[in-house]
């Protein structure tokens, strides 16, 4: 990732109608294989998930990078 709060999470919210404040914050999981692009296939097949905390459009923080142990299985079906 380039900088915290930039990249995947910012691209997801950029074209959405999001109010300036999110009550109590929200956690958003973004599936990815390379840490730069959103995984285009079924979510359960992504190699990892980036967990972002969104408190407002201006406040998007990467909280965790989580590996997907089921990416190479058919457990997600």
Q: How far is residue 55 from each of residues 10, 50, 62, 67, 68, measured CA to CA in Å?
A: 13, 16, 12, 24, 25
Q: Kindly state whether residue 1 falls inside one of the protein's structural domains.
A: no
Reply yes or no on whether the pLDDT at 2 is more than 50.
Answer: no
56 in any annotated domain: yes
Determine the pLDDT at residue 48: 96
* Residue 36 confidence (pLDDT): 93
Q: What is the pLDDT of residue 13?
A: 53
- The number of CA neighbours under 13 Å toward the Cβ of 12 is 20
pTM score, two decimals? 0.64
Q: Is residue 49 part of a domain?
A: yes
What's the pLDDT tens digit per position in 7-64? 665 555 554 544 444 466 899 999 999 999 999 999 889 999 999 999 888 889 999 9
* Residue 2 in domain: no
The answer to the question of residue 72 being in a domain is no
Domain-embedded: residue 27:
yes
DSSP class per residue in the chain: --STT-SHHHHHHHTS---SEEEEEEEEEEEESSSSS---S-GGG-SEEEEEEEEETTEEEEEEEEE-TTTTSSTT-
In a domain, 45, yes or no: yes
Question: Total structural domains in the chain?
Answer: 1
Domain hosting 55: range is: 8-67
Note whether residue 16 is domain-resident. yes
């Amino acid at each position: 990732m380039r900088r915290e709060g930039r990249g995947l999470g910012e691209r997801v919210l950029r074209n959405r109608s999001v109010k300036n404040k999110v009550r109590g914050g929200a956690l958003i999981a973004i599936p990815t294989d390379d840490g730069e692009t959103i995984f285009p296939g079924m979510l359960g097949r992504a190699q990892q998930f980036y967990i972002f905390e969104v408190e407002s459009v201006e406040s998007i923080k990467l909280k965790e990078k989580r590996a997907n142990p089921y990416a190479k299985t058919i457990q997600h079906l």
